[in-house]
Homo-oligomer: A and B are copies of this chain.
Amino acid sequence: MLKNRVWLLQKQIMDKICDVRIVDCLESSYIKPYRMEYKQNGRQRVWDLCKVHDSVACIVYNSTRDRLLFVTQFRPGVYMNRCSSVNGVVDTDRYPGSLGLTLELCAGITDKDKTVEQTMQEELEEEIGYHVPLDRIQKVTAYRSGVGTQGSKQTLFYAVVRDEDRTSSGGGNDSEGEMIQVIEMSPSEAQSVLMDESIMRPPSLLFAVQWWLANHASKFAAKEAADK
């Protein structure tokens, strides 16, 4: 399972990273540091925080092919956590872009005047190339990411899709500079990802896969057996 890592080998383009420089971030539309001063039970306290956007994510199951659908992309934060810079310059021969490739749920930030369901629908179409009617985008739960420093909310959805829902090969919004690839996995491959820390993946994906295995995998396995 995943031994060939075909899904990583495919990504020779998106991990072709060079000319990496680390510079100051003086102002940003995405990262807003701030400090909260407060009294807790009469005691003065200070906490440093970073405001980021809320987001949506979806675990997607293609029932035509019995595959869970994920995305992979190059994530600068993960990359920088795994390498060092000298005077702001990163040696990309020593630290190849593949260090920053992640496996993630189809997801996106909620920065537009849309409902979370509409945002999720848009991301499903943009990132993985499936048009999913709103009534098939089922809410699972919502949780809080980065409770120590951010506390932003991510709403998790579940969608069952079929091949006929596919409208494109996905890949993200090119005008926004997104470079994303769809990754399909059998349920057992996805299960093996849970304990494989050599694959960079967020805890939201681990929960979503584990939740799907506990609540939905057997249903489809039973159906498949009955169809035979």
Q: Is the CB of A23 within 8 A of B49?
A: no
Cβ contact of A194, chosen from B40, B141, B197, cutoff 8 A = B141
- Known contacts A109-B148, A154-B203; is A18 also within 8 Å of B39 by CB? yes
- A33 on the B face (CB < 8 A): yes
Q: Is the CB of A143 within 8 A of B202?
A: yes
- A126 on the B face (CB < 8 A): no
In the bound complex, residues from chain B placing their C-beta under 8 Å from that of A202 are 143-147, 203
| Bound-state Cα–Cα, A77 to B177, Å | 29
Copies of the polypeptide in the assembly: 2
Q: Is the CB of A147 within 8 A of B214?
A: no
Q: Is the CB of B78 within 8 A of A147?
A: yes
Beta-carbon contacts of A1-36 to B below 8 Å, as 1s and 0s? 000000000000110111111111100111101111
- Known contacts A197-B141, A203-B204; is A147 also within 8 Å of B77 by CB? yes
- Known contacts A143-B197, A202-B144; is A151 also within 8 Å of B80 by CB? yes
Q: Is the CB of B75 within 8 A of A147?
A: yes
Cβ contact of A22, chosen from B34, B100, B145, B177, cutoff 8 A = B34
In the bound complex, residues from chain B placing their C-beta under 8 Å from that of A14 are 40-41
Of the candidate stretches A60-68, A130-138, A205-213, the one touching chain B is: A205-213
**Number of residues in A with C-beta < 8 Å to the partner?**
81
For the complex formed, measure the closest distance between the CB of A76 and the CB atoms of chain B, giving whole angstroms.
4
- A140 on the B face (CB < 8 A): yes
Q: Is the CB of A33 within 8 A of B31?
A: yes
- A70 on the B face (CB < 8 A): no
| Bound-state Cα–Cα, A201 to B144, Å | 6
Of A20, A48, A142, the most chain B CB neighbours within 10 A belong to: A48
Q: Is the CB of A149 within 8 A of B52?
A: yes
In the bound complex, residues from chain B placing their C-beta under 8 Å from that of A22 are 34-37
Q: Is the CB of B24 within 8 A of A35?
A: yes
Q: Is the CB of A38 within 8 A of B20?
A: yes
- In the A-B complex, the 8 residue pairs with the smallest Cβ-Cβ separation, listed nearest first, are A77-B151, A78-B151, A25-B35, A47-B76, A207-B207, A28-B48, A203-B203, A206-B207
